[in-house]
Amino acid sequence: MKREQFLFLCVLVFSLHNVKAQSNCRTPNDEPAMCVPIRECSILYDAVLSRDPEVIRFLRESQCGNAGGPLVCCGSTAEWRTSAPTIANRRPDLLPEDCGRQEDNKILNGQTTHPTEFPWTALLGYRNASGYEQFSCGGSTHFSNLAYFFQEDNKILNGQTTHPTEFPNASGYEQFSCGATLINERYVLTAAHCVTGRILRAVGALVKVRLGEWNTETNPDCFGTQPKVCTDKPQDFGVEQAIPHREYVDGSRDRYHDIALIRMNGQAKNTQFVRPVCLPKPDTEVTTGQRLSVVGWGKTETGRYSPVKLKLKVPIVSESNCNRMFNRAGVNVRTSQLCAGGEKDKDSCNGIVSFGAVCGTEGWPGIYTRVSRYRDWIEGNIRP
């Protein structure tokens, strides 16, 4: 046995109560399983060498006895599942069936517009100590299975300008750091690091959610010439409650569970510029190379903030290739995360993008929270 495995197994043997091997048990994820010697449970045995504190904690809590060596409750995973606190508390009925809908494109004076594309993006407003309010915008929100993560550089490289009704659920103003996505009339989904920890100390208190914004420098936002088309006034709401995932650790290198809900103090009104997204189901998968949309304001390749929403498509990167890159930096990408991007000068460094390398660096994708893995958590933390 390798020394690392031996040392870990010594640590694992912390409970010496007698449990018969092959008895029934429940894993830390409350999954029914069998209590077996760890050597007979390949999924946990292979995880023994992990240096991830969460995996180590999962292994310890999987121990179900000792019989000449540790017995473990052998389930289907060596990771915590991001489920709701209890199944009884889940409220899937609060997620709208009329979601993810966009109106057909229209032709105005020979120019193709996308009037209602991605109407679920939102901006988050912060108030600093002097009382000055500023909006931080979700520059990277992908709507197939990406969650919203926010990288530090806040740039959108080689993006295309959107039209006023594309991504109508994004909200922002003046400064761009965080964004969100509308999931029902009272809640937006964002990154945990946008509602807790360092950003609140550096920027100020989170006080507002804006929906239906397009150009942060004009009001109303208009496009086209003959006829001129103008958007509705943005919908602004106060923050009634911010709900970061309870296992998110502010400042952690890996940013596991970097996801949060924000409950607004009023109900969003569905318009052609404001509509909720459809959340992916737990079994939703994406394929390597599949291109997904990111959208937001943020900084452009010129280093200046864009006042209008931009959009960009980035490719999904395989988990193995992503880990090959980030393991060098001491980061282990989990199945609850998703890698996308990594093309030279094409990136979105703002959004539920959790983190990544320098924005637009070839070969280094951004790391996103995989929303499908958090569907139960979302349903367990929303209320009417």
Residues 42, 139, single domain; the answer is no
Considering the domain boundaries, does residue 384 fall inside one? no
Considering the domain boundaries, does residue 100 fall inside one? no
Considering the domain boundaries, does residue 102 fall inside one? no
The 10s digit of each residue's pLDDT in 290-315 is 888 777 766 555 555 667 777 778 88
Question: 21-36: b or e for each residue (b if 16 or more CB lie within 10 Å)?
Answer: beeebebbbeeebbbb
In sequence order, which ranges of the chain are alpha helices (DSSP H)? Answer: 3-12, 42-45, 53-62, 198-202, 319-326, 375-379
Q: How does residue 36 score in pLDDT terms, banded at 50, 70 and 90?
A: confident
pLDDT of residue 177: 62
The 10s digit of each residue's pLDDT in 77-96 is 777 765 444 445 678 788 88
Residues 149, 193, single domain; the answer is yes
Of the ranges 9-18, 281-290, 352-361, the best mean pLDDT one: 281-290
Identify which has the larger pLDDT, 145 or 40. 40
The 10s digit of each residue's pLDDT in 181-196 is 999 999 999 999 989 9
Residues 69, 119, single domain; the answer is no
Residues 53, 145, single domain; the answer is no
> What is the domain-level CATH number for residue 38?
3.30.1640.30
Considering the domain boundaries, does residue 202 fall inside one? yes
Residue numbers of the domain that contains 149: 87-93+108-379
Residues 194, 291, single domain; the answer is yes
Considering the domain boundaries, does residue 247 fall inside one? yes
> What is the domain-level CATH number for residue 129?
2.40.10.10
The 10s digit of each residue's pLDDT in 95-117 is 888 777 665 443 333 223 344 56
Considering the domain boundaries, does residue 98 fall inside one? no
Residues 272, 322, single domain; the answer is yes
pTM: 0.67
Residues 21, 165, single domain; the answer is no
The 10s digit of each residue's pLDDT in 317-345 is 998 888 888 888 888 888 888 888 866 54
The rounded percent of the chain whose pLDDT value lies above 70 is 65
What's the domain count of the chain? Answer: 2
Residue 39 has which token pair? 């050597």
Judge contact between 140 and 296, C-beta under 8 A. yes
CA atoms of 190 and 181, how far apart (whole Å): 7
